[in-house]
Homo-oligomer: A and B are copies of this chain.
Amino acid sequence: MARVRMRDVAEHAGVSVRTVSNVVSGYPHVSPETRAKVQRSLDELGYRMDYMARGLRSGRTGFIALAVPFLAEPYFAELAQAVIRAAGRRGITVLVEATAGDSEVERRILEGGLTNVADGVLLSALTLPATDGAAAAPDFPLVMLGEHSVGDQFPRVGIDNVAAARTAVEHLLEQGCRRIVALGRNGSENGRQRTEGYRQAMSAARVRRVNWLVAPVDDWTREQGYAAVRELLEGDGPLPDAIFAFNDALAVGALRALDASGVRVPEDVAVAGIDDIQESAYTHPPLTSVAPDLDVIAERALTLLEEQAGRRSGAQGAGRPGTEGAEGAGPEPVTARQEATPFRLVVRESSRRRPPAR
């Protein structure tokens, strides 16, 4: 019951390993009879590819790495799920790394810490300042995932943060809200962009400055949303009539704080968030949110990764040829494509203050 290698299959079928390899990897030019014969041996012996060996030889591992800050945050869990599903469709296995939002860890990944183990890297950075990595474009396939962008030397796939935020705030304005809190500023690039969307919407609606409210937080978590809104409610200013949370986790925390203080939603305060995590359909009341299309994000990210890999290794995919003397024209500088993916506003009870127009 020892390990079955290609050589064993070849002997069993009476062909060379080359032929077995061809059959296994789906190389088209194999005679049907040979293929059938080999397939029979494959099945009979229960052959299973050794991916390590293939990876060593071909320079391709069949893995991609996905690095997210926290897998336990619903948004990232749902994103990871979408990536794993999309990768599965392409026969790619996903290696999940949790960075804990540690910029040291994120930097290491940007510097290629995962390249020996993965053909490409999907990084959902949290803390990396936009100036970082400006020095060098990576010499391996890399796509930034989700909202955060690190300068623009890397391709990124995600929604347009400014537009998403503007959409949410415009919706609140349409409900008749004026005194709207922007909940979530925290010094991140993403936070700046969502603040900008808020600003644009408020400005376009000519809301007076006295009604522009900002509640800063450390992280975009339920805890922070709760704490920030508690503080707001305990202050002596007049109540806001709406809260725009920079993500749904913050909104969930905000809803809990409002509930605990007996503030009615949406009658007293309307609430909207971004991400449309699954939880948001079950809050009290159900949460209005801007929904990114995670499947589209995952698909595009993988496509971009493949494009980069293709560009890097030439047409026929010579993998890791010998001493790599002639590197072609060298890895072409990847055009930084910042793809904005579609999103839609999902209106639920938390912001429904006016009867829907018929």
Using CB atoms and an 8 Å cutoff, list the residues of chain A in contact with chain B: 1-3, 48-53, 55-56, 61, 63, 70-72, 74, 77-78, 80-81, 84-85, 88, 93-98, 112-113, 115-117, 139, 222, 226, 252-253, 255-256, 259, 278-279, 281-286, 320, 323-324
A72: contacting residue among B3, B49, B78, B281, CB under 8 A: B78
Interface contact B52-A56, CB-CB below 8 Å: yes
A74-B77, A77-B77, A80-B96 known; A56-B48 Cβ under 8 A: no
Which residues of the other chain, B, contact A95 by a CB distance below 8 angstroms? 63, 93-96
Interface contact A51-B139, CB-CB below 8 Å: no
Interface contact B72-A77, CB-CB below 8 Å: yes
Chain B: which residue is nearest A285 at the CB level?
Answer: B259
CB distance from A320 to the nearest CB of B (A): 8
A139: contacting residue among B1, B55, B71, CB under 8 A: B1
Which residues of the other chain, B, contact A279 by a CB distance below 8 angstroms? 74, 222, 252, 279
Which residues of the other chain, B, contact A281 by a CB distance below 8 angstroms? 222
A52-B116, A56-B52, A77-B72 known; A323-B2 Cβ under 8 A: yes
Interface contact B72-A278, CB-CB below 8 Å: yes
Which residues of the other chain, B, contact A117 by a CB distance below 8 angstroms? 51-52, 93
CB distance from A278 to the nearest CB of B (A): 7
Interface contact A252-B282, CB-CB below 8 Å: yes
Q: How far is the CA of A85 from the CA of B94 in the complex (A)?
A: 17
So how many copies of this chain end up in the complex?
2
Which residues of the other chain, B, contact A3 by a CB distance below 8 angstroms? 320, 324
CB distance from A282 to the nearest CB of B (A): 5
Interface contact B81-A50, CB-CB below 8 Å: no
Interface contact B84-A96, CB-CB below 8 Å: yes
Which residues of the other chain, B, contact A49 by a CB distance below 8 angstroms? 116
CB distance from A62 to the nearest CB of B (A): 8
Chain B: which residue is nearest A48 at the CB level?
Answer: B116
Which residues of the other chain, B, contact A71 by a CB distance below 8 angstroms? 71, 77-78, 80-81, 84
A81: contacting residue among B56, B98, B286, CB under 8 A: B98
Q: How far is the CA of A324 from the CA of B5 in the complex (A)?
A: 13
Which residues of the other chain, B, contact A320 by a CB distance below 8 angstroms? 3
Interface contact B70-A2, CB-CB below 8 Å: no
Interface contact B96-A96, CB-CB below 8 Å: yes
Interface-centre pick from A61, A72, A93, A98 (highest chain B CB count, 10 A): A72
Which residues of the other chain, B, contact A50 by a CB distance below 8 angstroms? 56, 116
Given contacts A50-B56, A52-B61, 20 further A-B contacts (CB under 8 A): A2-B324, A3-B320, A3-B324, A48-B112, A48-B115, A49-B116, A52-B55, A52-B116, A71-B71, A71-B81, A71-B84, A72-B74, A80-B96, A84-B96, A95-B95, A95-B96, A222-B278, A222-B279, A222-B282, A282-B283
CB distance from A85 to the nearest CB of B (A): 7
Closest 10 CB pairs of A and B: A284-B284, A77-B77, A52-B55, A72-B81, A71-B81, A96-B96, A52-B56, A72-B78, A256-B282, A84-B98
Q: How far is the CA of A253 from the CA of B117 in the complex (A)?
A: 41
Which residues of the other chain, B, contact A226 by a CB distance below 8 angstroms? 282
Which residues of the other chain, B, contact A116 by a CB distance below 8 angstroms? 48-52
